Amino acid sequence: MTQVTVKHMWKEYGGHVVLENVNLHVGDHEFVTIVGASGCGKTTFLRMLLGIEAPSRGEFLIDGRPLPGEPGPDRGIVFQRYSLFPHLTVLQNLLLGLELKDAPLTGRLFGAARRRALDKARTLLAAIGLEAAANKHPAQLSGGMQQRLSIAQSVIREPKILLLDEPFGALDPGITADMHELIIKLWNAHKMTIFMVTHDLKESFALGTRLLVFDKVRIDPQAPEAFGATITYNIPLKGQRSAS
């Protein structure tokens, strides 16, 4: 069970208020889509969940505990680009999470442990339809294949929360339908909570069980930095939760 609770949370850099008075409660196995204009704190919010930004004031709790100050294996991330390891093959990219988990000293698995990890990685590889590319390097893959791999790579450690920062923003429109299907499949299989920042309104309605709109409620034309954005709409949606 994963609960994310935000109470009266503010984020500011010096005099520049980015987020003000954000309140939110997200329950288990939700798919939260986040939309809003550029520079209204969506990505800052995601970076806080990731642990690389801290709130200036207020509470930001995951399962009742304050955010840890750094990224960890309970929160996976898929960026728009650059999150694959270029020196590893597709299979090795998937395997890495398992190796890091069980081999603290060498970062590599051997023997039976390695075979078990390989089985798991191959299963996931089949699920994302990249078996044929198992021994290729990321630079040899198309953008869509890279993002599929990046998603699978994040899922293999079975994080409680998966963060998606405009994961399909750089892809051809034709591929996004496949990607939506994949992410819904993985979300239902692993029952994690997803936060996805997107620019695509249609996508946010289609995928989410909850849509958050970040916007500024107060604007001072003389001092545009004096007020921050907050969650102006918090809309429950039907979502695509599988029945099982």
Binding residues vs another protein (CB under 8 A): 50, 52, 70-73, 75-77, 79, 81-88, 96-97, 99-101, 104-108, 137, 139-140, 150, 153-154, 157, 159
What is the C-alpha separation between 102 and 114, in angstroms, rounded?
A: 10
Q: How far is the CB of 164 from another protein (least distance, A)?
A: 12
What is the C-alpha separation between 214 and 227, in angstroms, rounded?
A: 13
What is the C-alpha separation between 209 and 100, in angstroms, rounded?
A: 32
- Comparing CB distances to another protein, the nearer of 20 and 165 is 165
Q: How far is the CB of 167 from another protein (least distance, A)?
A: 12
Non-local (6+) Cβ contacts of 48 within 8 A are: 11, 54, 55, 60, 67
- Comparing CB distances to another protein, the nearer of 122 and 136 is 136
Q: Could you tell me which residues are beta bridge partners of residue 231? A: 214
Look at residue 157 and give its three-state secondary structure: coil
Q: Could you tell me which residues are beta bridge partners of residue 235? A: 211
Q: How far is the CB of 87 from another protein (least distance, A)?
A: 5
- Comparing CB distances to another protein, the nearer of 58 and 71 is 71
- Comparing CB distances to another protein, the nearer of 58 and 169 is 169
- Comparing CB distances to another protein, the nearer of 61 and 100 is 100
Nearest residue to 182 (alpha-carbon basis) of 137, 130, 115, 112 = 130
Q: How far is the CB of 163 from another protein (least distance, A)?
A: 8
Amino acid present at 212: L
- Comparing CB distances to another protein, the nearer of 87 and 202 is 87
Q: How far is the CB of 138 from another protein (least distance, A)?
A: 8
Q: How far is the CB of 224 from another protein (least distance, A)?
A: 28
Nearest residue to 6 (alpha-carbon basis) of 205, 191, 195, 200 = 195
Structure token pair of residue 159 = 């994080």
What is the C-alpha separation between 207 and 34, in angstroms, rounded?
A: 11
